[in-house]
Chain A
Amino acid sequence: MVMILRKTTRTHQRRCPLTDTAIDQTSNEHSDGDHGSTLGVSNDKLGMWVFLGSDCLLFGGLISTYMLYKDRIGPDDLGPEEMFDIPFTSVSSFVLLMSSLTVVLAITALRRNDIRRSRIWLLATAILGAIFVGGQVYEFTVFYREGLGYTTNLFGTSFFTLTGFHGVHVTVGIVMLMSLYIQSMRGKLTSGQSEKLEIIGLYWHFVDVVWIVIFTIVYLFPQ
């Protein structure tokens, strides 16, 4: 991977300046001279990639725990089959996936320096994320009313922990998006800073991908 990266960087740096891409822009923007960026990716972006690699293992551990425990319930206990409302969760999953599209639209708008559109899409992404989190809160409430609490059984414990961790990740993403939105309203988010949005976009896509895995494993497999 490293080798490929270096190679592409070099060719791009040497060739036609018009096709010089985000790589060069970021390295120009973020580092002065040779010393700043060996790979041609900015430190911020590389740092986010590295962090997401680590976060995979966090969800790996939580998903494994859930898989181990989901069926360990008494015969009269509430389990996955009784609890899940697939149509409802499918809709909220769709909402979350659409937010990945809107964040990409926000990034491209910002790159074109179309500030107004980028703001709209940014806000749309945050709202879609919030709808998803709202849906999760609603789902948790319904489960609790039906008698599945956090401490009820192993299914409840591991389900709420896994989806709760994901919900917290989405919430952190919303906070980051809204901070960017506020910056944009203060006129401080222009195409020069599009990388910030890209980095948060990486995080946002990651959270979506994790949800696809969780939705498949947790909601669809037991059916």
Chain B
Amino acid sequence: MAIVEQEDAPLELESGESNQITERPLGAFTRPQGSGGWRSWLFTVDHKKIGIMYGAAGLLFFIIGGIYALFVRLQLSRPGNSILSAETYNQVFTMHGVVMVFLAAIPLGAAFSNYLIPLQIGARDVAFPRLNAFSFWVFLGGGLFLLTSMFIGGWWENAPDGGWFAYSPNTGVLFSPSKGIDFFAIGLQITGIASLVGAINLIVTILNMRSPGMTLMKMPVLTWMLFITQMLLLFAMPVISVALFLLTFDRLFDANFFNVAEGADPLLWQHLFWIFGHPEVYILILPSFGIISEIIPTFSRKPIFGYPFMVFSGIAIGFMGWGVWAHHMFASGVGPVAVAAFSVSTMFIAVPTGVKILNWLATMWGGRIRFTTPMLYATSVVAMFTIGGLSGVTHSLAAADSQQTDTYYIVAHFHYVIFGGIILGFFGGFYYWWPKMFGYFLSEKIGKMSFWVMVIGFNLTFGPMHILGLQGMSRRIQTYSEGQGFDFWNLISTIGAFLIALATAMFVANILISRRAYRDGKTPDPGPDPWDARSLEWMTASPVPEHNFDEVIEVERQDEFWHRKWGKNESGQVVRRATAEEVAHDGSNTNVHLPSPSYWPIFAAVGLPIIGYGLIYNLWLCVIGGLFVLGGLYGWVFEPVDDPNAAGHHHDDDHEDIDGHDSTENHENTSEEVPID
């Protein structure tokens, strides 16, 4: 690749600066002004604000998806219940799965990626700030589009009802005549665009915008794990896009991809879906792995044990994640050779995951552990994920899996890894980075209480499902009859679900209470580095100033910030060299030129859901949506690169870029980001 870039150089460029054109394009397109109020959020291109919006939207969708789950649990709380009709039940559990996976877990991961990657690599922003804003608004539009299926055309008439993996031919018009699957396919297509654009952006950011000296093997483990996540998204998203295109064309234009009468193969969908779907599992879990790899060393006061093993086991998971998808299909007749091969590869992928568990334990071993709320969450992730991982290994044995398929045992397994591994990790991340993001602590007291309620509630909810599954309770049944032996554990499970809801409510209350307490001056100011942490994001003020760092940080070692604070004396003891306040930037540098906000990302993003409604209801709407997208892209292209009034402006307009009409092909100029003059 490098060689390709080195083709002959234009010699004129030695003096070529005169070639630059300084004329300003179309003055009508100005940049938004002002930094306060709702506008500062709507038109922002700041990766921190976008990260916070991702987090807020993800939490909102998490709560909505949780409410769906409560209805499912209420329906199953006793035999013969009729709170939800069978049709509604199908829609509610489908929406629960879709919302939790695509609208809660992925964006929460994106929240941490957006906020922390530039900070951890010492950059001022992501590579393509406007593209970053675009990807958030596209995600939000796609998510709301999906949610409107609840009430468009009647209350719970048109929501998707095919389960989150939407197996064909069950999702064909013949078997699913409502508009639900159309909403599913188009909504996920839209959020997929958001993920793909975000992945391109963050990969380029990590590869190309690291601080001087920050080699790949000096990056924090979190950045590494998020990098692998984005690589997986990059290559998995087009596969689900293909599957969703085929499904959409089948439903809207009478194509034959899943038309069994014409000889179509229903397994095509399963293969395409799970080739995306299994990497997706790691897309969800790796951010959480990264988060606890930051929390555990900080609160054990030890560097991460076996950093290269941590990194390479993550890479190994990233690669092997592509070779295990058919273990979701053991019962669908893929043949003995495939079953054997995927069985073995599934057992193997437990190895790098086991390496990680071991390394976390070894990091804690002999450390001076402080059990703060983030640390409690992080350790619980290690424990709960191990349980989920072990039940996962039982699925890799094809013979056993054939018995477990489509029972509650599966449901128990993936909730242990997704809730116990991912959601608990994200909550730990919230408590850990909250002071950095917002400048005040979340209350430890409420935090620890809600932690215990959540972990107990979680185990009460999903632990009994192992038993129910092994007793033979099918997944996705709307109800069961008395005397099957399912009553007791289902009731326990429902009680547990409400405890999780209580814990989530306590978390939300904690935000409000802690914020008020801080405003009233009752809680201390966290300062730049409240936890005595190790990575670069703590080396600047809290909350992080808009320009991130006052000056470019020269990185010499892994855990650079830690080594600036601590050193060894002659006898080899660790002693403090400097306080965090001395080392950290105070955010006082105001002479930094930052990318200006822009109207166009949100403008272009609005068009996509409109096109979605158009495809389902009236093709004319597609024209309107298309105009939004086109107009947005052209506005994007022709808008001045930077606010002319901004301090330190010294750009010509050669970054004005031409553009394809495919949203993923926008390139933005890199130089919206400028070091201090």
- Grouping DSSP codes into helix (H, G, I), strand (E, B) and loop, the A interface class, with mixed when no group exceeds half, is helix
CB-CB under 8 A for A8 and B6, given A43-B204, A50-B234, A53-B235: yes
Stretch at the interface among B170-178, B520-528, B559-567, B656-664: B656-664
Measured CB to CB, the closest approach of chain B to A119, in angstroms, equals 14
Would B242 and A62 count as touching, CB distance under 8 A? yes
Q: Does A47 contact B (CB under 8 A)?
A: yes
Q: Which residues of the partner chain A approach B254 to less than 8 Å between Cβ atoms?
A: 150-151
Would B673 and A192 count as touching, CB distance under 8 A? no
Point out the residue from B2, B19, B204, B208 that lies within 8 Å of A192, measured CB to CB: B19
Would B7 and A22 count as touching, CB distance under 8 A? yes
CB-CB under 8 A for A65 and B207, given A50-B234, A194-B10: no
Q: Contact flags (1/0) for B634-660 with A, using CB distance below 8 Å?
A: 000100000000000000001111111
Measured CB to CB, the closest approach of chain A to B206, in angstroms, equals 9
Measured CB to CB, the closest approach of chain B to A113, in angstroms, equals 5
Point out the residue from A36, A40, A65 that lies within 8 Å of B268, measured CB to CB: A65
CB-CB under 8 A for A44 and B6, given A32-B675, A157-B256, A192-B13: no
Stretch at the interface among A87-95, A124-132, A133-141, A195-203: A195-203
CB-CB under 8 A for A37 and B208, given A32-B671, A54-B237, A188-B21: yes
Nearest residue, chain B, Cβ from A164 = B249
Measured CB to CB, the closest approach of chain B to A199, in angstroms, equals 6
Q: Does A111 contact B (CB under 8 A)?
A: yes
Would A61 and B658 count as touching, CB distance under 8 A? no
Q: Does B482 contact A (CB under 8 A)?
A: no
Q: In chain B, residues 233-265, which have Cβ atoms closer than 8 Å to a Cβ of chain A?
A: 234-239, 241-243, 245-246, 249, 253-257, 259, 262-265
Q: Which residues of the partner chain B approach A187 to less than 8 Å between Cβ atoms?
A: 21
Sorting the interface of chain A by its residue count into under 10, 10 to 19, 20 to 34 or 35 or more gives 35 or more
Nearest residue, chain B, Cβ from A53 = B234
Point out the residue from A4, A19, A30, A180 that lies within 8 Å of B658, measured CB to CB: A180
Instruction: With a 10 A CB-CB cut-off, give which of A40, A48, A54 has the most chain B CB atoms.
Output: A54
Nearest residue, chain A, Cβ from B122 = A35
Measured CB to CB, the closest approach of chain A to B607, in angstroms, equals 16
Measured CB to CB, the closest approach of chain B to A146, in angstroms, equals 18
Give Cα A23–Cα B3 distance, bound, in whole angstroms.
10
Nearest residue, chain A, Cβ from B242 = A61
Besides A22-B5, A65-B257, A194-B10, 12 other A-B contacts (C-beta < 8 A): A8-B2, A21-B8, A29-B654, A33-B552, A33-B675, A34-B552, A41-B2, A42-B670, A54-B234, A54-B237, A72-B265, A161-B246
| A residues at B contact (CB < 8 Å) | 1-2, 4-5, 8-9, 12, 17-23, 25-26, 29-51, 53-58, 60-62, 65, 68-69, 72-73, 108, 111-113, 150-151, 153-154, 156-158, 161, 172-173, 175-176, 179-180, 183, 187-188, 190-194, 196, 199-200, 203
6 tightest Cβ-Cβ pairs between the two chains A and B:
A61-B242, A43-B670, A58-B238, A179-B658, A57-B238, A111-B10
